[in-house]
Homo-oligomer: A and B are copies of this chain.
Amino acid sequence: MKTYKLALLGFGHVGQAFARLLMRKADQLADEYRIQPVVTAIATGSRGRAIDPNGIDLWAALNLIESGQMLDNLSAEPAPEDNIAFIQASGADVLFENTPVSYLDGQPAIDHIRAALEMGMHAVTANKGPVVYGYHTLTALAAQKGVRFLFESTVMDGAPVFGMTRETIPAANIHRIEGVLNSTTNLILTHMENGESFDEAVRYAQSIGIAETDPSGDVDGWDSAIKISALITVLMKTPFTPDKVNRDGIKEITPEKIAAAKAEGKRWKLICTAEKRADGIEAKVAPAMVGPDTPAYTIDGTTSIVTLESDVLGTLSLIEADPSPITTAYGLLADLINAVKGRSAKG
């Protein structure tokens, strides 16, 4: 049995779901993987922060947050307000970086992850920014320090799109990626097919907490562009940023267009594509009509799909249906297990 100390930087919905999952899976982690995770540091945005080298009581932390109280009383020693100092004081083996991030440069998440890696901690994040803007640098730093930088939850929640490519299809050269990667727009399009207007569908997505108050990041294809950039960066081993994606959202998809597609036996989907060409990689986010000859046709609501074309396999598709709040948390758990137990197939 080996104990691993975890620092949770950011303790919102994802961090809290991860804490619950750690408790639920404690016995299985011990029995099957000989792993005993102990959370020794938690930093929230506005609910304080705590460090305790002997382990923080996660039930107590969750109860404090739910009842609107501060975490500070759980701290056994001073917990620095500065995030870098907090990481350095945490004494953790693995950092979980889930703070608010800028999608323009991946900061401050990149700095947090770099600080952890430099101290010899593994770093795990559900933030796309550090992948899009820092993957190659951070991965090289992790390798140099003998630790891992993992980020399974950044695209398709906890579905193993990165792990599958990294661990299970070695030596496959991926030349094309296609996917429906944004839940909000797919939910809106699905609801519009059922007769709702665009605004009604947006309001529904907001009411269940899927869409933001300002839904433009999803609706204009920006989130999709970041996700396809992350996939290109990692799966095609080529740095790629969202500004290079030829991007179109779903605002032009009227109820009339949806009815016309239906009459043809087709559906509108916001499709992300990336293609390796002789002159570089071409990436696009745009609405497209798809028919029943493609798996994307069956992708309803918040379900997502990615399809990979390579030199050694027929097209390989991964579909994640019915994601739940624990799906993203599970991606963090999978990264934890893979970080501490294994090395990649890559030499």
Residues in B whose Cβ lies below 8 Å from that of A25? 171
- The answer for the CA separation of A320 and B29 in the assembled complex, in Å, is 31
A344 to chain B, nearest CB (A): 7
Q: Mark A303-347, 1 if CB is under 8 A from B, else 0.
A: 100010000111111111111101100100110011001111111
Q: Given A33-B171, A171-B28, A292-B297 in contact, is the A314-B318 Cβ separation under 8 Å? A: no
A266 to chain B, nearest CB (A): 11
Copies in the complex: 2
Complex: A338 Cα to B342 Cα, angstroms: 12
- Kindly state whether residue A172 has any CB partner on chain B within 8 Å: yes
What B residues does A298 contact at CB under 8 A?
292-295, 297-298
Check if A343 sits within 8 Å of B342, measured CB to CB: yes
What string of 1s and 0s marks CB contacts (under 8 Å) between A13-53 and chain B?
00000000100010011001111000000000000000000
A21→B34 CA distance, assembly (Å): 38
B313 touching A320, Cβ below 8 Å: yes
Write out the residue numbers on chain B whose beta carbons fall within 8 Å of the beta carbon of A171: 25, 28-29, 32-33, 333-334, 337
When distances are taken between beta carbons in the complex, the residues of chain B under 8 Å from A168 are: 152, 160, 163-164, 167-168, 334, 338
CB under 8 Å from chain B, chain A span 50-65: none
Partner of A314 from the list B160, B292, B324 (CB cut-off 8 Å) is B324
User: Is the CB of A275 closer than 8 A to any CB of chain B?
Assistant: no
A-B contact pairs, 24 of them (CB 8 A): A21-B312, A28-B173, A34-B347, A158-B312, A159-B316, A160-B164, A163-B164, A163-B169, A164-B164, A167-B167, A167-B338, A168-B334, A171-B334, A298-B298, A312-B327, A312-B330, A314-B322, A315-B319, A315-B320, A316-B321, A317-B317, A317-B318, A341-B343, A342-B345
